Structure 1
Amino acid sequence: MKKLIRQLKEVRDEFLYKVTWPSWDELIEGSILVAIASLIIAVVVLVMDLASQGIMGLIY
């Protein structure tokens, strides 16, 4: 039981004192970047899907 308590205290200390959390502005900037990248990837996948569908339509 002592090992578990010590482990939990170490985890708490690491989260409070050793982890560098991003600022609010960094968090917003990163979130916007992820959203834009996701949209770009979705458009690329859509174009590839439509192209392969068109090619298959010509073949079959």
Structure 2
Amino acid sequence: MLTYIKESIEELRHNVTLPTKEESSNLMVVVAVFSILFALATWGVDSVFSKLIKLYFTNVLN
């Protein structure tokens, strides 16, 4: 286990490069836009299913 941890730290030090500030900003915008779009899509599907369930139960109970 210690060998794995040591090798992981070594790999992080020598093989991993962090993105620039500009790249990070661009990626943050992309993530924010897709998060908003996904939230809107989820809200839309939820609204449709909610209305369908209400319609079904009002017709079944009446």
Query: Structure 1 length as normaliser, TM-score?
Result: 0.75
Identity of aligned residues (%): 23
Which residue number corresponds to residue 16 of structure 1?
Answer: 13
State how 1:1-60 maps to structure 2 within 5 Å.
Answer: 4=2, 8=6, 10-60=7-57
* Structure 1 residue matching 2:18: 3-state secondary structure: coil
Gaps of 5+ in 2: 58-62
Q: For residues 4 and 48 of structure 1, what CA distance do their matches in structure 2 show? A: 48
Gaps of 5+ in 1: none
* CA apart distance, 1:28: 0.8
Query: Structure 2 length as normaliser, TM-score?
Result: 0.73
Q: How many residues align?
A: 57
After superposition, the CA RMSD in angstroms is 2.1
